[in-house]
Chains A and B, each alone.
Chain A
Amino acid sequence: MKDSLSLFNNHPNIWRAREQPANTSRFALGIHTLDEALHGGIPSAGVVSIACTTGIGEVSLFQQVISQQRKHKLRVFINPPAHVCAPWLTTQGIDISQVLIITPDNDADALWAAEQCLKSAACHCVLLWSKTMAAKTARRLQVAATHNDALCLLFSLASKKPSSLPVSLELSLKAHEANLTVDILKQRQGWPVHNLSVPFSWTPDNHAIQWAIKNNKRKVHSLHSVS
């Protein structure tokens, strides 16, 4: 009995919950509570799967990772839901000359392109929007990404049934008022965390105006005040 267990005990890829998370290279998201839950950020290589509705700031959440890390490498958008807007990229601090947008005709081509990009050693991260993702293809992307030290952000629509893709990190995002609710469904070398609520703002808003209206009440100065 003891012998059969020692195989597992000595296996370097098996993480035991009593251990501290291994010191793998990570990219911080810049949001303190989230980074803490993720033990310092998202892994610097591998596939991060994000399940959410389009338009709740799911790309902007990774703004710091996309724009600040490995600046000399490409950021590739594959199969984005609509035209990627160039001024948005510059607002995010992304060097626009390092952006490649790929719009393949079908999902198979998209996966092919993603794998080529990850394998090329020329890409910092690949942002892939995919409707269907089988475990096998996710595994391929994961291997291509980890071997070439690249990041793959895999965006898919939120689904009820829990998926179990062989990826480094699985997140589920929901917008709730001014906060973003993050579920860490699966992370390597760590426990899942649910309902983590982080304040998040990803568009310009009218706060400045509202603040100005509230605080700069026009004072009526009378020239001849009678006290």
Chain B
Amino acid sequence: MLWAYLHCYQLTLDTYTPLQQGGSADEPTVVYHENSNSVVQMNAAAKQHGIELGFGLAQTAALCPQAHIIKYDKDVEKQALLSLAHQLYPLASDIVINTEHSLAIRLDNLLQYYGGYDVLWNTLTHEINQQGIHYHYATAWGIEAARVLAKSQINQMLRERTAITKCLAHCKLSYTDLDSKALNALEKVGITSIGQLLTMPVHELGRRFTNDTIRYLTALRGETFPTRTLFRPSSTFKQHTVLPFEVENSQHLLPYMGKLLDTLSHYLRARNLTTSSLCFEIQLREAEQQVMPVSAATPFTCATAWLDLVSLKVERLVLQQPAIALTLLCEDFEPIEKDTNDLFSDRFTHLAQKQLIGRLKAKLGEQSTQLPALGNSHIFEKMTVYQAQGNGQSYGFDAAPTFLLDHPKPLSVASRVCFGPLRLQTGWWEENTQKQDYFIAQTPQGVRLLVFKDTESKWWVQGVYS
């Protein structure tokens, strides 16, 4: 067995940096852990100001008053690590989330797919580097041993057992997961390095230490392999991102939404899925979160197609309060249909149509873009409906005008009847009885109108024939 262990030592910082706007990337930034009052992560600019890990807030502020301070949040780190695991999952099957900032990947069972450790390792590191995540790594026969090596920042791809043993022997005991009590006990018996531990026979250890310690030590030595829960990607998509500043203009949300959509498209592509609806939750500073559902007429996978729609939707979005965080949720998936990639031209047109309708609806609003259908009525006003009725009958009508006015207008010009009468008497089974005689009349300008005479013999214009 060969496991790689990745210790992502500045996950919070790495998730923030790419989100920052162009010029401010050089801004000194530190991640501050409130409970321990210490700086836990920092960027190169902060280091130049003389800040070191473990400094308190006061010390940091004194050295660099303009430092950007991010609060350390365990959940944010965990989310970032999970998303990294999601990205890696298509490349590696056995991933173990070890702590909130480190994961282990089993390499030996992947060898037959990649043809060599170098290829495999390059593929994995390329993916991690693309995410902009900094890490220390090491490989060993088991997760425990690899963890110790990664903590001591070996940053080497070791394959030979002897080489691993050699490196491990030089590591400090404090890098192991043994608690202080066990470490004290080891010190008492004169064991100060891992090298000594590795050579010691098990029955010797058994006399002095608890079962948990023994279990850990045998795992470290690669003699036993404790069972681990492997990472399984979730069946729905949820990604959270904290905004680096409070966003008041909804347009400024777009880059962050774009990044989330990118992750989503990655997620969907890997699973051969598409989606036609997703939902952005915008967490506000002092109010309930704002929800922005986006739906498309046809399922998409591609992030740019989604971003087009989202940006149109965002144009109309008004933030009630400054936004502090964004969550992208996506729960309804559809499998990619085989015929989506059909080469028939009308298939493409169909897709283009759906995209067009989605785009128009996003920009102009649902009410402005409508697909007409025939209504189940003989009344002119109800002949056109904008939502197709399920199984109702629909009627065509030869004398229907091109355009129907909102409300009938009194006929005010002299005109000549050229068609009619056409009596419409309907609704008598309901309360609204209608009885009207319709005509087509032509004005001196040659305009043809749909006119009717009501029961009081008044003339009204209801439509135009174009």
Contacts and interface: CB of A to CB of B under 8 A. Distances in A.
Interface of A: 53-60, 72-74, 80-91, 96-97, 99-105, 109, 112-113, 116-117, 120-123, 174-177, 202-206
Given A206-B418, A206-B420, A85 B383 contact: yes
Interface string B152-172: 000000000000000000000
B384 A60 contact: no
A86 B446 contact: no
Contacts of B463: 82, 85
Contact of B396 (A90, A113, A202): A90
Given A85-B404, A86-B385, A105-B368, A74 B395 contact: no
Contact of B402 (A74, A88, A176): A88
Q: Is the interface of B mostly helix, strand, loop or mixed?
A: mixed
B418 A57 contact: no
Interface of B: 345-346, 348-349, 352-353, 355-357, 359-360, 363-364, 367-375, 380, 383-385, 395-406, 417-420, 440, 445-449, 463-466
A83 B466 contact: no
B396 A204 contact: no
Given A81-B464, A88-B401, A206-B419, A56 B369 contact: no
B400 A91 contact: yes
Given A85-B400, A120-B352, A206-B418, 8 more contacts: A57-B465, A87-B395, A96-B373, A102-B368, A120-B355, A122-B353, A202-B448, A203-B418
B329 to A, nearest CB: 28
B357 A100 contact: yes
B14 to A, nearest CB: 39
A104 B398 CA distance: 29
B403 A80 contact: yes
Contacts of A53: 445-447
Nearest to A180: B446
Given A53-B447, A56-B466, A102-B360, A122 B349 contact: yes
A122 B352 contact: yes
A74 B447 contact: no
A57 B448 contact: yes
8 contacts: A53-B447, A56-B448, A84-B403, A85-B402, A90-B396, A104-B364, A122-B356, A206-B418
A197 to B, nearest CB: 12
A96 B395 CA distance: 13
Contact of B446 (A72, A73, A175): A175
Contact of A85 (B359, B401, B419, B420): B401
